[in-house]
Structure 1
Amino acid sequence: MTTRPVLELLLGDIVRLRRTHPCGGATWMVDRLGADIGLRCRTCGRHVLLERRLLESRFAGFVERGDPAITAAARPGPTSAA
């Protein structure tokens, strides 16, 4: 069994999946990161959640990369116990 590296996604990434959406849209914007990835169709605005594993199997490529600073700001930092 070969292990593939984890797909590094950023908030705001524009991705293309293997199949088009029923509305005819081919590109999706990443708007949620975690175990489930939130995607918004750039044609009709429909929002879907996909398991990361399922997204990685349907992933065809990046159209545009998001801003790493936005992703870093959205990640929860370490909590301080005071």
Structure 2
Amino acid sequence: MLPDLQLNDHLRLRKPHPCGSYEWTVVRLGADIGLECRGCAHRVLLTRRELAKRMKANLTKHEEREQEQSSTDGRSYRENHS
């Protein structure tokens, strides 16, 4: 399955970049996906299929889930939706 991405998403790939960083930022969307290394700012283009093979996790979605969970911890449904 090909990944559903947005600009500025933070991704973790399976293998590290030569600088040692596993994390990348999406800078271009289209037939090819542009990524920028968060360690050294090097840019690469990958096809969606190649990115799907290399991607381990979309950290942006994990960050959003953590924020949602922390905002709902200890509160009732009514407090969150009023």
TM (normalized to structure 2)? 0.71
Structure number with higher helix proportion: 2
Deviations 1:12-51 (A, max 9, x none): 0000011010000110000000110000000000000001
Which residue number in structure 2 is paired with residue 73 of structure 1? none
Shift of 1:63: 1.3
Out of 7, 10, 18, the residue aligned to residue 11 of structure 1 is: 7
Higher RCO, 1 or 2 (CA under 8 Å, sep at least 6)? 1
2:59 counterpart SS class: strand
Which residue number in structure 2 is paired with residue 46 of structure 1? 42
Paired AA for residue 57 in structure 2:
G
CA RMSD of aligned residues (A): 0.9
Q: Which runs of 4+ in 1 moved over 6 A?
A: none
Deviations 1:49-81 (A, max 9, x none): 00110000111001124xxxxxxxxxxxxxxxx
- Percent identity of paired positions between Structure 1 and Structure 2: 49
Q: Does 1:61 align with 2:57?
A: yes
Task: Please give the alpha-carbon distance, in whole angstroms, between the structure 1 residues aligned to 2:17 and 2:3.
Answer: 21
